[in-house]
Amino acid sequence: MLKATPLLFALVLAEDSYGQQRTTSAWEARSSTLSGGLEFGIPLGEFDFTWGKGTAGLSANISIPLRTLPFEVGYDFGWGRMGGEYSLEQGTGNIFSGPTGRKVEVNSNVYSHHGLIRFNPLRGKIRPYGDALLGARHFVTRSVATSAGGATSEERDGSITPSYGWALGLMVGFGRSFYVEGRVERLLSGQVSYVDPNSIAIASDGSVTYDKLRSRTDAVMIQLGVGLRF
């Protein structure tokens, strides 16, 4: 039994060394990536002066390597909630009856769509990278009225503006395929008219009114998430 112990110990060390080597070699290879997570937006310049509030939402991006070159191409998506309003007419029955009137929901969101070219020259579990971004941002306010019988009607108010910028990110690998990612984007966007969420008002008859603002929409986006190499 004592003679077998050194042999068993050597086998465990060999297996552990092989596993580490296999994981390391996996991270040395070029591969496509897909990641997603939380996104926080900070308005800058004219956008900050005119509207002056942050956004919170979700983000996702995918990248595909260009053969053996240290470049990748891909797509970056972001969604941020700007604000909204909600109203529900109460029923006329007794105090224990639920609401039976019309429900009105108004939500203002901004969607970012950017193609990207990524410079990702390093290998290993820790990979810093830089992106060049080009695309558009879509500001949308959606009003949905639902009657007591369940019928719905919808209205949209939306505007699109060109957008470009850059991003810096860092991937830290775990295991063979998974990684965590931190990323900062600097977006420069043109002038656009968008709904001021603070001005949204729902009247007693369910009609919706709001004011609109107009400005450039430059922003810094901070993203934290997880990803998969494949």
pLDDT digits (tens, 9 = 90+) for 83-118: 988 887 665 554 455 555 678 889 999 999 999 999
Across 58-65, average pLDDT: 96
Q: Is the same domain home to 178 and 145?
A: yes
Residues 10 and 49 in one domain: no
Query: Which residues touch 203 (CB under 8 Å, ≥6 apart)?
Result: 209
Give the pLDDT of residue 92: 54
Distance separating alpha carbons of residues 151 and 135, to the nearest angstrom: 37
Asked whether residue 25 falls in the same domain as residue 41, the answer is no
Whole-model pTM: value is 0.81
- Specify whether 26 is located in the same domain as 38: no
**In this structure, are 47 and 85 located in the same domain?**
yes
Dihedral class, residue 67 (left if φ above 0, else alpha if ψ from -120 to 50, else beta):
left
- Cα 19 to Cα 24, 25, 124, 127, 175, distances in angstroms: 9, 10, 15, 21, 10
